[in-house]
Structure 1
Amino acid sequence: MTLTKQQHTPRSSRTLAAIFIAAAFALAGFLSLGVWQVERLAWKEALLARVARHVHAVPAPAPGPADWPHLQREADEYRRLSVRGRFAHERETLVRASTELGSGYWVLTPLQTDQGFWVLVNRGFVPTEMSARAARQTPEPVGEQTVIGLLRLSEPGGSLLQKNDAVHGRWYSRDVPAMAAAQGLSAQAVAPYFIDAVVPDGQGADTSWPRRGLTVLQFSNNHLVYALTWFALAAMTAGAMGYLVADERRLRRLSGQRNKP
């Protein structure tokens, strides 16, 4: 089969420039996304290692005011803590939650520690029909209590699609300073973290409400696959650019041969 004249015609400089500019942007974008996924992979692996290291450790005392300025997410989140104090159940805050038990609320209750400062304790999950304190089947703990749990840093703002509304009591993330202020607690006296209560070792599965032990401790880690995908797309784009260069040289060579006298 013979090639037509149109198939032998080199592309215009403007067309080539447009193609290469678009391809260069795509290549840079794919490489950037690949590098970002590699960084996310390192972050996720560090998170998994930190969680594995902390969640089964001997509980440490809850950090007091002197330690608050030094808390860091990378070093301290998911540390296993122990704290003793009295709950102020009348000041609890309900935060929207979706768990393996369905939709409902986290119950965050201020606890005044025996050291004098306050810390918000996520006492666990309740389904929507148990959002009212009177509807729960388990008596509220009164008097001095010892809480074992995991240190979690504040989650400001709200969820991806919904902002916290302190005025109307609608909470979609566990924003410690905002919830403490809404409950009339002095910011200087409230820890900048909350504690996810867990079932103490040896007590078996929790059957009470609020239901403890639902903190997510297993995280998907697909970043390597994503990184390889983006790098593969970058390689394909680079290959397509190389093919375009070779094809253009071929067309120009054929065009030059055709135009010889």
Structure 2
Amino acid sequence: LRTTAFPAILGRRLCCNHCIAAPTRRFGTEYNDDGEKRVGFKHFLLLICPLTAFSLGYWQIQRRRWKLALLEKVNNLLPSPPIPLPKDAKSSTDLLEFQPVTVEGRFDHSREVLIGPRSIITDEIPFGGYGSAWGSKPPPEGHKQSNLSNFGAPSSTGYFVVTPFELKDRPGTFILVNRGWIPTCNRDPFVRKTGQIEGFVKINGCIRYNEKVSLQPNVLQSLKICMLPLLCFHLLSGML
């Protein structure tokens, strides 16, 4: 006559005492010879989600701190009166980025370069200036002027126009001036003759240093369009 061992606990018939001592194993769980759970590769995969979330959160916090510090730096420097640009290159590179400066000279429009593609980042460029309004139709009365919604503006994507500027007190010495943003349809200088200023002029600006190197540099010599400022100036303008 067969008996049932611990029927109230196990709820099923057992063939021997060994079945009572054997640990309960879940489907898909790996155990070693001692009956302990084995840590497998899938357990490490479960750590990826919290670690990734923590890393992204930390990166966002650091990025926010960097942006706040940059905004504070810009707000402190831009209102200050412009200073004359130092005569030697070493002193110029020692200036803080966004330091206002003033220079006098003339543009060399024959060697201008377009840097892009770039998106417009302001809504305060007046009609007829270097912005999405450049070369577009006059807005109707009562229409709010905006780079992103300007009447006749085809797109918010375009290029920065960077033009060599020969200093008046140092003939043969050039600096690079970012003259502003233009839409893609106006990359031809012929359609923006108003911006081709001739003769000596005095301009105020701020010091800017080179952008980070792009992962996909693209230099189109036929259109004078590039993504890397220093690289394109070296290849197309022959200044560096």
TM-score normalised by L of structure 1: 0.56
Given that 1:82 and 1:146 are in contact with CA atoms closer than 8 Å, whether structure 2 keeps it comes out as yes
The Cα RMSD (Å) is 3.3
In structure 1, the partner of 2:71 is 48
Matched residue count: 178
Rounded Cα–Cα distance in structure 2 between residues aligned with 1:83 and 1:174 = 25
In structure 1, the partner of 2:53 is 30
Unaligned segments of structure 1, at least 5 residues: 188-261
Given that 2:82 and 2:102 are in contact with CA atoms closer than 8 Å, whether structure 1 keeps it comes out as yes
Q: Per the alignment, do residues 4 and 150 of structure 1 end up closer, same or farther by CA in structure 2, a change over 3 Å counting?
A: farther
Residues 173-198 of structure 1: CA deviation (Å, up to 9, x unaligned): 3513531442121x2xxxxxxxxxxx
1:185-224 aligned at under 5 Å gives the runs 185=239, 187=240
* Secondary structure of 1:46's aligned partner: helix
Residues 54-73 of structure 1: CA deviation (Å, up to 9, x unaligned): 222211223441224535xx
Q: What amino acid is the match of 1:146? A: K
Unaligned segments of structure 2, at least 5 residues: 1-8, 13-23, 122-131, 133-155
Among 57, 62, 70, which residue is 2:94 paired with? 70
In structure 1, the partner of 2:229 is 175
Superposed displacement of residue 92, structure 1:
0.9
Among 102, 107, 110, which residue is 1:90 paired with? 110
Q: Per the alignment, do residues 129 and 24 of structure 1 end up closer, same or farther by CA in structure 2, a change over 3 Å counting?
A: closer
Residues 15-62 of structure 1: CA deviation (Å, up to 9, x unaligned): 544454233444443333333332222211111111211222211223
Q: Percent identity?
A: 28
Given that 1:95 and 1:173 are in contact with CA atoms closer than 8 Å, whether structure 2 keeps it comes out as yes
Higher normalized helix content (fraction of residues): 1
Given that 1:166 and 1:182 are in contact with CA atoms closer than 8 Å, whether structure 2 keeps it comes out as no
Larger RCO, structures 1/2 (Cα 8 Å, 6+ apart): 1
Q: What amino acid is the match of 1:61? A: P
TM-score normalised by L of structure 2: 0.60
Rounded Cα–Cα distance in structure 2 between residues aligned with 1:105 and 1:25 = 40
Q: What amino acid is the match of 1:57? A: S
Q: Per the alignment, do residues 151 and 70 of structure 1 end up closer, same or farther by CA in structure 2, a change over 3 Å counting?
A: closer
Superposed displacement of residue 137, structure 1:
4.7
